Structure 1
Amino acid sequence: MADTPRESMPQIHVVQSQHINTIASKFDTTFRKKARSIVTGIVARQTDRKELVIDAVKATNGSGWIVTDDEVLSAINTLTEYGVTDFSKEGALAYAGFIKAQTVNFKINSHVVVVLT
């Protein structure tokens, strides 16, 4: 990453649920942990490369976002209103994270990568 100008690199954002959020919680600390989530496909409680991911997020001026079930349901409704019908709850989680970043006025670059873990 050192050879690539930071401005041309996509921002990396990690989006996780209130249930499992081992990486996003390093960036988003304003959440309440829940025993379960409607998003059931995101279940990685541990990863050997956690610190590498955190470093990559920081190096690209990205962030981590913890999304509530209500935010996922809202994202599902919005995607459906836009005519998007073929997506998973995990995909809606990613979109909800993007919406959350916009809502808190996070400076989003023109190129963004959202990582679900």
Structure 2
Amino acid sequence: MSTAPVLGRMGVRLERDRAGVASRFPSTVPHLEASGGDGGACVMPSYTRLTVNINTETAAALRQVAESRGVSYTEAVRRAVALLKLIEDETQKGHAIQVSEGKNVRNIILLA
């Protein structure tokens, strides 16, 4: 499937991932987009494009998460990074991250 960008609502560029899911895809520099009737413009936020190498096990896990949540690979990675950041921020504050299953409670410990 092609990954050519398509124009979405409000002029935001979208890109279809391999699963055909469209996701926001602004350019690496801010775009200018015409606003209402006043002739002004608004600046779209920039982003960083990243290419990563992952092993087949990680790729399969990413695919499974994206498909089960109905999101693009990009969105699945965003959510994973946000979750990792939350865990790291809380552990740096001295807080414990726990998983509970009934009366069983396990601490989650991240290794550096």
Answer 1 or 2: higher relative contact order, Cα 8 Å, separation at least 6. 1
- Tell me if TM exceeds 0.5: no
TM-score, structure 1 length as denominator?
A: 0.27
Query: Relative to total residues, which structure has the larger strand share, 1 or 2?
Result: 2
Structure number with higher helix proportion: 1
- TM-score, normalized by length of structure 2? 0.27
